[in-house]
Structure 1
């Protein structure tokens, strides 16, 4: 099986790359044939994020968007599949959904050879493009900013208690970006109406941790959004333009603040 177009990349002019690894819905034949009934609607997808961030191109951001579902291979997990969290999570090749439901019918998950192919033909190209883009940005501007964009259902008891805050910002406990960038984002979050937390349940996945290198003038932030603020949290996961418009204003504020911070600090 040959895999084509594992991602969509749109070049920009600003020193910012927005990575959206989990919005993809494409499936390989082996994954499509083996999915459980609960998984067929792809409930753990970061639905509609490219639409939510469609303002970013106007700010000059580079955009990198994964094409394949995380049920094929998770682009935000390390290639060696080492766990990122001590609490419940999913791995490089998820066999369960976020709520703990099996993702595949018994004995129907892709075999080891198929999964190695997904790593080589989907995961590796995405990360090569990510690194190449950051390198090109640094060559042009002297520094690079990375925003790793995600969303998740607002209530998943297996992963976290109660309702998730609206904005969940992760900087790997301050290790993936300059302290002053995090301080800037904290200040901006305090100026808007949505609830927020820094380095709570979501501190940043593999992308934030691997590419956040402030010592090398490369600053990464993960933003996990509670999906109730822009879509219906059940199939068919309809986009809600009125709610989304309010959230987009805040996202624009946060993206613009990162760019403004860099112009002054770097």
Structure 2
């Protein structure tokens, strides 16, 4: 499974990168209306923004498969995580803007969805579960941090311009209140716009992994792309901007250090 990359660390923190992939198998690519369109909703460069995570001892799980093939951050049953609001599904048939991804009649059927779930979704979540279990065996509590980004303006999904930092904890269900407060303090201190459990409350990874009573605290961070790149209207992604990314990256590095320290406090106290 060369599309699934796991970098193991010993710190009480797991970092998930589910939407940075751009690979689309040829048998699926030939059915698409446009490859650039199918890749347009990628979380561009988010793996570069967080490339410090492994050096801080975090375990990092990363898929290179495009979310247009299958979205590993959706409910595998196909149920919407945001009932009544526009979204994309387990095997998306439209872009965020509502544009059809497939040529007419070439959309994925039940057999396609089943095979994509078997080949990509299930192995990704098996890797998550295995690494969570490994880390919990060594630590009384751990943080599962799910990394995302999105264009600042997507009228079909939300009104106006999205804040730079969008914290999702499934309305404070997926992690301890003090961890959510810690994340909020770092975002607020940055001087950049932020919100908790606004339009994005956390996807399937956050909601399914978070189990605070058993020491597993999950947080999703959705960062508006303008925080680290120049956004553009066409399908070609702008380059990663070191100048734009520097303030955001600095916030994230300090946040990671404090989350690792927070997660380790309980183990220290109980030793």
TM-score in terms of structure 2 length:
0.93
1:169 aligned counterpart, secondary structure: strand
Question: Residue by residue, what CA displacement relative to the aligned partner does 1:46-103 show, whole Å, maximum 9, x if unpaired?
Answer: 0111111011111101000111001100000121111100211001010000011111
Rounded to whole Å, the distance in 1 between the matches of 2:31 and 2:228 is 30
Q: Structure 1 residue 85 and structure 2 residue 82: aligned? A: yes
Number of the residue aligned with 1:37: 34
Query: Does the 8 A contact of 1:19 with 1:64 survive in 2?
Result: yes
Q: Structure 1 residue 22 and structure 2 residue 19: aligned? A: yes
Number of the residue aligned with 2:215: 217
Number of the residue aligned with 1:170: 168
Structure 1 unpaired stretches of 5+? none
TM-score in terms of structure 1 length:
0.95
Deviation, 1:109, is 2.4
Deviation, 1:175, is 0.2
Deviation, 1:263, is 2.7
Query: Does the 8 A contact of 2:163 with 2:194 survive in 1?
Result: yes
Rounded to whole Å, the distance in 2 between the matches of 1:30 and 1:88 is 28
Rounded to whole Å, the distance in 1 between the matches of 2:149 and 2:108 is 26
Tell me how large the CA RMSD over aligned residues is. Answer: 1.4
Structure 2 unpaired stretches of 5+? none
Q: Which moved more, 1:221-230 or 1:25-34?
A: 25-34
Rounded to whole Å, the distance in 1 between the matches of 2:39 and 2:174 is 30
Rounded to whole Å, the distance in 2 between the matches of 1:8 and 1:38 is 23
Question: Residue by residue, what CA displacement relative to the aligned partner does 1:177-206 show, whole Å, maximum 9, x if unpaired?
Answer: 001111122222221121100000000000
Count of matched residue pairs:
263
Q: Structure 1 residue 51 and structure 2 residue 52: aligned? A: no
Q: Which moved more, 1:192-201 or 1:251-260?
A: 251-260
Residues 65 and 116 (structure 1), Cα distance of their counterparts in 2 relative to 1, 3 Å cut: same
